[in-house]
Chain A
Amino acid sequence: MQHSGVNLRFLVYVFVSVLIINMDAHTHALAPVRALLGLTVAPLQELVLVPRRFAEWVSLRAISESELLDKVEDLQAANLTLSARLQRIDGLDAENRRLRELLSASRRGLDRVMLAEIENISLEPFTQSVLVNKGLADGVYEGQPVLDSRGVMGQVVRTSYLKSAVSLVTDPGQTIPVMLERNGLRALTSGTGSRQLLDVPFLDRNTDIRRGDLLITSGLGGRFPYGYPVAIVREVTVDVNEPFLNISAEPVARLGYSREVLLAWPGAEPDADLTPVDVQPIPQPPVSPTSILGGSILTLPGQIPESGGESAPAILPQSTPQPAVSPNQDAVNATRQ
């Protein structure tokens, strides 16, 4: 009698597990539950990171003064170079906007970003996904693009309040709409499971694509904003028996190495001094962050340290002229006249 009771309880647990698996795999109903329950394991995750943080703290204290000075010098040099390039980009951006206006094409805004840190704590060591230390509490939403300093890293697939899981571009389930930077040809990249390899499927044998071509996000599909580098074509082979080319590409982002990543809010305002002259509303990504929390996340104040404490609305009202015009735009005006 007792045995049948044990068996019955076992079957109930199995049934509940299967139910949960199916619900979580096919619907979004369990997202709030996961977010809440995720809080209970947060102390555990922090505890596990204590040794690493301590090691980092020690190594930071152990840096000699000359090393530090060298580092500062390097960073200043890098900063100068980047500022110079940014000036050019400001000018080009203004020019681009004006030309798009002439074509009456829709404008593309800059994207707001937030720094997050990869925490190398997961049950499986060789999966193509990582955990980052920002979650729903920071405004992260499922489907959010994740970048590093070089290019696209992946997208957020699951979130809890304090952490989120990012699926890398090399995940076999991950497909990104891209285009060739050289000729605008649209294509897709899909992950292979190897950190160095992406597949570019479904391109005809007579397609104009060759080794060294840069693939950037095309913005189609609405998840990833336009224009971020994804991969460089490494090898194009023709197999006469197959209708499509065999193309392998290498991700641009440093997938195995980056500790810091950037979470991007496509189309949201980046920063006060990068604000374009007039900004039109940009369509929201299809997976709206509001659908997860039932409240507006994008307009939370003080999400980004760079915004100087000002809560810039995510989408500025149309035809709001901003007084802050960068000097480069005057320069562009002058050249146009």
Chain B
Amino acid sequence: MLLGSSQSRSVWLVAFSFLVAACLDILPVGWLRGYFQPDWVALVLIYWCIHDPDRYGAGIGWLSGLLMDLLDYGILGKYALGKTVLGFLANKISLRLRVYPLWQQCLGVAVLIFVDVIVHALVRFLLEQPTLSIARWLTPLSSMVMWPLVVVILTPRARTRRY
């Protein structure tokens, strides 16, 4: 396996990366932040689901979504559902996505996160809640831009040289 779980990464590192991502998601930058709002939790989730598909998938997606639900103070389970779908899909296409060049990975990530946003919007529509803001619809694009950064940070140095 090229980048498989041969070098098994610590569960603590995974948990820590999710916590940092959640902090970045709720960072109080105020209205300055504007329309650039990458979904860090989704990026980290995709990373782990792609690079260790034997261990991470829908389950970790559900957990990270629940974390976001608790931080959001909206209706519980809204993010959990989206992230479950995201984790499952990322897990399914992990083999293909992992061998893509980085720029193609970016496109794949954008599509995956777009699915997550659509699930979120669908839940809102079914619950007759106000529609999503434009910032949220732009999340796939802003996250896509941040994907290389996540890859560089989470991949150990010895492994990055292979790209």
Interface residues of A (CB under 8 A from B): 6, 9-10, 13-14, 16-21, 23-25, 30, 33-34, 37-38, 40-41, 44-45, 47-49, 52, 119-129, 131, 157-158, 160, 163-165, 171-173, 193, 256
**Distance between A170 CB and nearest chain B CB, rounded to angstroms:** 11
Residues in A with CB closer than 8 Å to B134 are 126
Q: Are A18 and B77 in contact (CB under 8 A)?
A: yes
Which bracket fits the contact residues of B? 35 or more
Contact residue among B19, B31, B78, B80 (Cβ-Cβ distance under 8 Å from A125): B31
Given the contacts A9-B59, A10-B58, A21 and B76 also touching, CB distance less than 8 Å: yes
Stretch in B61-69, B99-107, B144-152, B154-162 touching the partner: B61-69
Q: Are A9 and B77 in contact (CB under 8 A)?
A: no
State the CA gap A206–B95 with chains docked (Å): 68
Q: Are A120 and B73 in contact (CB under 8 A)?
A: no
Residues in B with CB closer than 8 Å to A47 are 23
Contact residue among A13, A44, A52, A165 (Cβ-Cβ distance under 8 Å from B84): A13
Q: Which of B71-128 contact A (CB under 8 A)?
A: 71-81, 84-85, 88, 91, 123, 127
Closest to A33 in B: B76
Q: Are A17 and B84 in contact (CB under 8 A)?
A: yes
- 4 A-B pairs besides A13-B58, A16-B80, A122-B73 with CB distance below 8 A are A10-B58, A14-B85, A24-B75, A120-B30
Q: Are B136 and A124 in contact (CB under 8 A)?
A: yes
Closest to B24 in A: A48
**B153 interface residue per 8 A CB criterion:** no
Given the contacts A125-B135, A172-B130, A173-B129, A10 and B71 also touching, CB distance less than 8 Å: no
**B27 interface residue per 8 A CB criterion:** yes
**B9 interface residue per 8 A CB criterion:** no
State the CA gap A256–B30 with chains docked (Å): 11
Q: Are A10 and B78 in contact (CB under 8 A)?
A: no
State the CA gap A48–B88 with chains docked (Å): 29
Closest to A9 in B: B58
**Distance between B56 CB and nearest chain A CB, rounded to angstroms:** 11
State the CA gap A158–B27 with chains docked (Å): 21
**Distance between B17 CB and nearest chain A CB, rounded to angstroms:** 14
Residues in A with CB closer than 8 Å to B73 are 122, 129, 131, 157-158, 160, 163-165
Q: Are B62 and A13 in contact (CB under 8 A)?
A: yes
Q: Are A30 and B76 in contact (CB under 8 A)?
A: yes
Q: Are B70 and A37 in contact (CB under 8 A)?
A: yes
Given the contacts A45-B71, A48-B23, A172-B130, A10 and B88 also touching, CB distance less than 8 Å: yes
Residues in B with CB closer than 8 Å to A17 are 62, 65, 77, 80-81, 84
State the CA gap A41–B127 with chains docked (Å): 26
State the CA gap A13–B130 with chains docked (Å): 25
Q: Are B75 and A124 in contact (CB under 8 A)?
A: no
Closest to A30 in B: B76
**Distance between B31 CB and nearest chain A CB, rounded to angstroms:** 7
9 CB < 8 A contacts A-B = A17-B84, A18-B81, A21-B76, A21-B78, A30-B76, A34-B70, A44-B23, A122-B72, A173-B130
Q: Are A20 and B80 in contact (CB under 8 A)?
A: yes
**Distance between B150 CB and nearest chain A CB, rounded to angstroms:** 18
